[in-house]
Amino acid sequence: GQVSCELSGEAPLSLVASSGGSYKVVTASALDREQACEHRVTVVARDRGRPALRSSRELVLEVSDVNDN
């Protein structure tokens, strides 16, 4: 069946459909560790069945600072 995915949460990230029915989480803008050392988002996947099935998973993305020694 067909599955759709979406992100929920406050983060400069977006979800992009990839080949083979998979998705990628990509940055929508530059990440700055001084502003936030981590970002938490939830990926929600739904199918188009009846009844519709749904699954979610929280992602925690830790931001590294490239200027640290």
What is the SS3 assignment for the chain? Answer: CCEEEEEECCCCEEEEECHHHCEEEEECCCCCCCCCCEEEEEEEEEECCCCCCEEEEEEEEECCCCCCC
pLDDT at 57 over 80: yes
Q: What is the mean pLDDT of the chain?
A: 86
> At a CB cut-off of 8 Å and minimum separation 6, what does 28 contact?
12, 13, 14
Report domain extents, the chain: 3-62
pLDDT at 20: 80
* Whole-prediction pTM: 0.73
pLDDT at 11: 80
Identify the CATH homologous superfamily for domain 3-62: Cadherins (2.60.40.60)
pLDDT at 28: 83
Residue 54 in tokens: 């749904």
What is the mean predicted confidence (pLDDT) over 22-37?
87
